[in-house]
Amino acid sequence: MPIKLPNDLPVREILEEENIFVMDEDRALHQDIRPIQICILNLMPIKEDTELQILRMLSNTPLQIDVTFMKMTSHISKNTAKSHLDTFYYSFEELKKRHFDGLIVTGAPVELYEFEEVDYWEEITRVFSWCNTHVTSTLFLCWGAQAALYYYYGLPKRKLDAKLFGLFRHRIYNRKTPLLRGFDDEFWIPHSRYTEVPVEEIVRCEALTILAQSEEAGVALCMADKGRKIFMMGHPEYDRMVLRNEYVRDQRKGLDTALPKNYFPGDDVGKRPVLVWRAIANNLYTNWLNYYVYQSTPYNLDGTPWGDLIPDNYR
């Protein structure tokens, strides 16, 4: 089924070239169904790259999806044109009265700052609070996951001795959880970060259920509130060449970033990386949309008092 996007969104053309069914706003108005309302809080510097990566993931579902992009107004983006943000993104103030079936909070390259030092920290905590009453399920990615774990449960992050960078093997736990339907016992996904939430802190938090963990990368996936909050520490949405591009960028900046682990065949930068995480990424997003968004959300999204939909053990 299609993703409904603004008619002039630049990545739309790329998605259509990849045979992803994209519906324009005019055609969507004539559909006699309620599309799933998904909001993406995009905190990454190059917005269009992240838009493309996540929209690819959302396209692998039979559901019709209406996507809205959110921005933080307390931060000035240096890598995305203001015209793009003004045209396709909304502020929290513009969206705070709306309800959404799902929200995705991306990572951000601010890990080495304390959370309270991030210029949009106060603004994003308002979004985190709003999630409790206006979003059916939220998927937090990388720094977004670390920030949410800190905000909701007080879990600290700690700086790693070196950048965790590359492909890492993970083992699943709690297989009967619907989010893991169709997963193999082990899977690979990319990580690219300088900090982590310590495993022991997550284990001690009774609100959290660990779903996937790596010997090298720590906890990769956990959830709370029966799936109303899902935390993914890695980047399953990354395209084949993202880690390669990050490595080249770091080298040009003079950083001592090591080669991404388990990524280039024979650790040869000239060789094309093997894409081994796309299927598991598609599965994760499809399960999230199906079991935690579509099957849990009301039909009349804006007209239903949200507090009445949340069981007591979710509050």
Average the pLDDT over 217-242 and give the result.
96
DSSP string, the chain: -PEE--TT-THHHHHHHTT--EE-HHHHTT-SS--EEEEEE--SSSHHHHHHHHHHHHTSSSS-EEEEEEE-TTS--SSS-HHHHHHHEEEHHHHTT--EEEEEE---S-TTS-GGGSTTHHHHHHHHHHHHHHEEEEEEETHHHHHHHHHHH----EEEEEEEEEEEEEEE--TTSGGGTT--SEEEEEEEEEEE--HHHHHH-TT-EEEEEETTTEEEEEEEGGGTEEEE-S-TT--TTHHHHHHHHHHHTT--PPPPBTTSGGG-TTSPPP--SHHHHHHHHHHIIIIIIITTS-SSTTTS-HHHHS-GGG-
| Catalytic residue status for 237 | yes
Q: Which of 39, 131, 142, 205 is labelled catalytic?
A: 142
**Catalytic pick among 51, 111, 196, 237:** 237
Render pLDDT for 155-169 as a digit per residue (tens, 0 to 9): 999 999 999 999 999
Active site residue 99: no
* pLDDT tens readout for residues 105-128: 999 999 999 999 999 999 999 999
Q: pTM of the prediction?
A: 0.87
222 is annotated as an active-site residue? no
Residue 42 has pLDDT above 80, yes or no: yes
